[in-house]
């Protein structure tokens, strides 16, 4: 075992779960790569990661890349985009993305309902992306911003649905958990809404429902858009116009935090983070 690996192994602050992976320090070298290093002064493990802000002002595509690099324990590809639409998240991306959409006009690889995922194999994706409808139908909306296209405002959310869209989440979450590999990521873009003169909080509903389905909710990132949603139908304001949404990070496993990268030299298996 080289000096660096030996020093890390002997450090009393080394996590017990990593010690269990090293039954014999004289036969198995272990190295902690990228995620940590040994402090020359204290001997403590100190972080080397690049921080990810909880408020994001860039594009969704840029944020997805940042989240893959920051949260992934396993390789995120292949990625299932369960609400592909026109695929704007993946503009100029080289990621291996499997597109799914209920609307065939966008020519997704899988035409289907993400609440059923008929024919989609189990435990086959490293990440699932979910960007469900954010507002309900706006009637004969003549706004410059087309809510039916840009926000998926075609799904019922009336009195029978308690004036919100959270009823869409449980069947989707069940399928997402099924098709994700162990420790795979579910990244969901959720926007709160006002309907029937009351504020609705679907991001809270989603996190609660995800936990009930067996996911671990790991983090919440506020994503800022350039301006609030507006409509010519809205004549008077009683609520602040939202110019943010939430990206919710869930893991298909028990660990909230990603597992560190380790390299083991005798051929034994271990936890490895993706290289990207």
Query: Tell me: the pLDDT tens digits for 37-62?
Result: 444 444 444 555 578 999 999 999 99
**Among 27-36, 94-103, 169-178, 231-240, which is the least confidently predicted range?**
27-36
Residue 34 scores a pLDDT above 80: no
Q: What is the pLDDT of residue 241?
A: 65
Higher confidence at residue 74 or residue 15? 74
Residue 183 scores a pLDDT above 90: yes
Q: Is the peptide bond before 78 cis (omega within 30 degrees of 0)?
A: yes
Q: What is the percent of the chain where pLDDT is above 90? A: 46
Pairwise CA distance, residues 82 & 98, whole Å: 8
Phi, psi of 129 (to 5 degrees): -110, 135
Residue 100 scores a pLDDT above 80: yes
Of the pLDDT bands very low, low, confident and very high (cuts 50, 70, 90), residue 147 is very low
Helix axes 202-213, 169-179, angle to 10 degrees: 40
260 touches 18 (CB < 8 A): yes
Q: What is the percent of the chain where pLDDT is above 70? A: 56
Long-range interactions of 14-20: CB distance < 8 A, separation 24+: 14/45, 15/260, 18/260, 18/262
- The structural domains of the chain, ordered by start, are 3-49+259-264 (no CATH), 55-251 (3.40.50.150)
Section 204-227 average pLDDT? 92
**Among 25-29, 63-67, 221-225, which is the least confidently predicted range?**
25-29
Higher confidence at residue 275 or residue 123? 123
Higher confidence at residue 156 or residue 149? 156
Instruction: Show the tokens assigned to 176.
Output: 């997402």
Q: What is the pLDDT of residue 8?
A: 52
Distances (CA, A) of 50 to 53, 70, 95, 172: 10, 8, 22, 32
Phi, psi of 37 (to 5 degrees): -145, 165
Residue 154 scores a pLDDT above 80: no
Higher confidence at residue 153 or residue 112? 112
Q: What is the pLDDT of residue 139?
A: 46
Section 220-227 average pLDDT? 85
Phi, psi of 56 (to 5 degrees): -120, 130
Distances (CA, A) of 108 to 10, 80, 112, 172: 52, 11, 9, 18
Average pLDDT, the chain: 75
Give the dihedral sign, CA 148/193/242/250.
negative
Question: Strand locations in the chain, DSSP E?
Answer: 30-32, 36-38, 45-47, 55-56, 79-81, 97-101, 110-111, 125-130, 180-190, 193-195, 198-200, 216-224, 244-251, 262-264
pTM, two decimal places: 0.69
Pairwise CA distance, residues 65 & 219, whole Å: 15
Residue 267 scores a pLDDT above 60: no
pLDDT digits (tens, 9 = 90+) for 188-197: 999 866 555 5
Instruction: Show the tokens assigned to 212.
Output: 């009930």
Section 161-176 average pLDDT? 85
Residues 6+ apart with CB under 8 A from 27: 266
Residue 107 scores a pLDDT above 90: yes
Residue 236 scores a pLDDT above 60: yes
Q: What is the pLDDT of residue 166?
A: 83
Section 255-269 average pLDDT? 60
């Amino acid at each position: 075992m080289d000096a660096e690996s030996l020093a890390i192994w002997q450090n009393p602050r080394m996590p017990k779960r990593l010690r269990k992976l090293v039954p014999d320090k004289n036969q198995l070298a272990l190295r902690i790569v990228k995620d940590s290093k040994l402090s020359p002064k204290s001997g403590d493990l100190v972080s080397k990661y690049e921080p990810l802000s909880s408020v994001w002002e860039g594009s969704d595509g840029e944020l997805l890349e940042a989240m893959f690099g920051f949260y992934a324990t396993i390789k995120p590809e292949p990625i299932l985009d369960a609400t592909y639409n026109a695929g704007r998240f993946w503009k100029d991306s080289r990621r291996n993305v499997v597109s799914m959409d209920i609307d065939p006009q966008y020519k997704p690889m899988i035409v289907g309902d993400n609440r059923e995922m008929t024919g989609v194999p189990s435990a086959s994706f490293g990440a699932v992306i979910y960007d469900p409808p954010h507002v309900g139908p706006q009637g004969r909306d003549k706004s410059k911003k087309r809510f039916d296209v840009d926000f998926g405002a075609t799904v019922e959310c009336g009195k029978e649905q308690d004036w919100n869209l959270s009823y869409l989440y449980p069947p989707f979450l069940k399928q997402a958990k099924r098709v994700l590999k162990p420790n795979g990521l579910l990244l969901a873009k959720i926007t709160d809404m006002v309907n029937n003169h009351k504020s609705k909080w679907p991001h809270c509903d989603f996190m609660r429902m995800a936990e009930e389905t067996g996911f671990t909710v790991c983090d919440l990132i506020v994503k800022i858009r350039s301006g609030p949603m507006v409509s010519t139908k809205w004549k008077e304001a009683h609520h602040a116009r939202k110019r943010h949404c939430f990206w919710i990070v869930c893991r298909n496993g028990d660990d909230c935090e990603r597992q560190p990268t380790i390299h083991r030299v005798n051929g034994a298996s271990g936890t490895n983070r993706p290289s990207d």
